[in-house]
Chains A and B, each alone.
Chain A
């Protein structure tokens, strides 16, 4: 019997059967289980529990505080691993400045402490302990020099010690921390009351959607008209994810993974609409961009289909802008090397190819000063997600 694949997003459910994919707008008055049962109850009745595979990105996201010894190694490596594990919100502290660093007011899901290659000792001292006493956190993991592990374990309750992420050659060793953080992310999603109920539909593990998309990336150029290096932009209701080939970054990180992921927590077109509009209004190109689209800034306040389309075009522009060299706060991608842009998520159901092309043309001309565009591929039928789900079916779950 064929499989039933379901993606629970913050705004839409996507339901994939053998021959068709349908999507349903969420009813926020109901919990996810009730809403899914109401909309797809008849579909579920046709499948056995072991043939149903679910992934979810709804309400997902962990907050992370990374305390590291240097920007170029500890913090860079840990940040990179965290993004690739599905962590959304990341704050960093340089250890040499810990005494003057602000203490986060909110509860941190996981604190990562990192610094030094194995063989050196005395990297961390009282300063770390004093700072941590002021921080509220749920989990804490140490991935620095092994020589400091005992000292820290004896002073920090429930400290999880994993292998050093910095190798003896100053390369990144991501496996253990990535698995740990992926598990936390999974547990966070699965542990949510809304998601727990979904196990009544499936006997398989529920995965996080970014994990599923990430699994499909090595297969994309073989399955689509996509040439490496490429980026996959997944614009959703609450967040926007960008998955990119590592060929587009020059950060001297040697990693086993060919693809990295970056999440823009506040660039969604539905739940995070207000922050998206705020980011747009503060962008130096936005008025020129709105004029180019033949609209005025009033459109940003409207509730219409046209407004939604403009908002989606803006989100494409902003996400490219944020990873361009004009915005060094985020990872800088060498977009001039980019061969293909793949757009997936709800956006492909709303925008036409011409609308996407118009905005990417504007970006490349205005921001990049280039006249040739990368190939644009629209993943109209969630084929990337389907590919990731199918590719994942036969894998033993590593997590939980």
Chain B
């Protein structure tokens, strides 16, 4: 069973979305470690280390993730996390923003998969496909 650490990053309290992600992941057979809302990037990385998780799935709905996730590469380098898949999804920008701008930006931060304003199930389908191709 693949292990996923998930939660909402930064000063974001969209708890319903967080709960839906948790339920959907469990329904798809993942073991979920849900850190809930208002979670810092360091806590996410630390939870991945403590649980030896396969996937870190960060969600953000208030658009502030950009400011909170810039240190991902740095924090990743603190531990040996090369086999972990880093995913972010939700509403990833404040105001109007093009997907073609957002996705490369988050990928440059160190995310493997980026979902901006993508339906949850569609995003999780892509994640599952990505994981199966990694095998």
A74 to B43, CA, bound (A): 11
A96 to B45, CA, bound (A): 13
Chain B residues in 8 Å Cβ range of A252: 35-36, 39, 43
Q: Mark B13-50, 1 if CB is under 8 A from A, else 0.
A: 00000000000000000000101100110110111011
**A94 (CB) vs chain B CBs: closest residue:** B78
Which of A72, A96, A117, A169 interacts with B43 by CB under 8 Å? Answer: A72
Q: Is the CB of B108 closer than 8 A to any CB of chain A?
A: no
Q: Mark B71-114, 1 if CB is under 8 A from A, else 0.
A: 00000001100000000000000000000000000000000000
B37 to chain A, nearest CB (A): 10
A170 and B51 contact, CB distance less than 8 A: yes
Q: Is the CB of A350 closer than 8 A to any CB of chain B?
A: no
Give the contact-size bracket for chain A: 10 to 19
B35 to chain A, nearest CB (A): 7
Chain A residues in 8 Å Cβ range of B125: none
A115 to B47, CA, bound (A): 11
B47 to chain A, nearest CB (A): 6
A169 and B47 contact, CB distance less than 8 A: no
Task: Given A96-B78, A170-B33, A170-B35, check contact A71 B42 (CB 8 Å).
Answer: yes
B22 to chain A, nearest CB (A): 12
A72 to B74, CA, bound (A): 16
Q: Is the CB of A69 closer than 8 A to any CB of chain B?
A: yes
B49 and A70 contact, CB distance less than 8 A: yes
Chain B residues in 8 Å Cβ range of A120: 51-52
Q: Is the CB of A335 closer than 8 A to any CB of chain B?
A: no
Chain A residues in 8 Å Cβ range of B47: 70, 72-73, 170
Chain B residues in 8 Å Cβ range of A71: 42, 46
Best-surrounded residue of B39, B45, B50, B52 (most CB of chain A within 10 A): B50
B50 and A69 contact, CB distance less than 8 A: yes
Q: Is the CB of A236 closer than 8 A to any CB of chain B?
A: no
B46 and A70 contact, CB distance less than 8 A: yes
A166 to B33, CA, bound (A): 12
Q: Is the CB of A345 closer than 8 A to any CB of chain B?
A: no
A303 to B40, CA, bound (A): 49
A115 and B79 contact, CB distance less than 8 A: no
A74 to B79, CA, bound (A): 15
A6 to chain B, nearest CB (A): 45
Q: Is the CB of A116 closer than 8 A to any CB of chain B?
A: yes
Q: Mark A312-352, 1 if CB is under 8 A from B, else 0.
A: 00000000000000000000000000000000000000000
Which of B35, B40, B42, B49 interacts with A69 by CB under 8 Å? Answer: B49
A70 to B43, CA, bound (A): 9
A273 to chain B, nearest CB (A): 38
A191 to B35, CA, bound (A): 43
A252 to B46, CA, bound (A): 13
Which of B33, B43, B52, B78 interacts with A116 by CB under 8 Å? Answer: B52
Q: Mark A56-72, 1 if CB is under 8 A from B, else 0.
A: 00000000000001111
Chain A residues in 8 Å Cβ range of B39: 252
Chain B residues in 8 Å Cβ range of A69: 46, 49-50
B7 to chain A, nearest CB (A): 10
A144 to chain B, nearest CB (A): 9
Chain A residues in 8 Å Cβ range of B43: 72, 252
A169 to B35, CA, bound (A): 9
A170 to B33, CA, bound (A): 7
B78 and A73 contact, CB distance less than 8 A: no
A73 and B50 contact, CB distance less than 8 A: yes
Task: Given A169-B33, A170-B35, check contact A74 B78 (CB 8 Å).
Answer: no
CB-CB contacts below 8 Å: A114-154 with B = 115-117, 120
**A73 (CB) vs chain B CBs: closest residue:** B50
B78 to chain A, nearest CB (A): 6
A24 to B124, CA, bound (A): 70
**B36 (CB) vs chain A CBs: closest residue:** A252
A72 to B46, CA, bound (A): 6
Chain A residues in 8 Å Cβ range of B52: 116, 120
**Besides A71-B42, A73-B47, A170-B35, 18 other CB < 8 A contacts?**
A69-B50, A70-B45, A71-B46, A72-B40, A72-B46, A72-B47, A73-B46, A73-B50, A74-B50, A116-B50, A116-B52, A117-B51, A120-B51, A169-B33, A170-B33, A170-B47, A252-B35, A252-B36
29 sample A-B contacts, Cβ–Cβ < 8 Å, listed by A number: A69-B46, A69-B49, A70-B45, A70-B46, A70-B49, A71-B42, A71-B46, A72-B40, A72-B42, A72-B43, A72-B47, A73-B47, A73-B50, A74-B50, A96-B78, A96-B79, A115-B50, A116-B50, A116-B51, A120-B52, A169-B33, A170-B35, A170-B47, A170-B50, A170-B51, A252-B35, A252-B36, A252-B39, A252-B43
Chain A residues at the B interface, C-beta cutoff of 8 Å: 69-74, 96, 115-117, 120, 166, 169-170, 252
The 5 closest A-B pairs by CB, nearest first: A70-B46, A72-B46, A120-B52, A72-B43, A73-B50
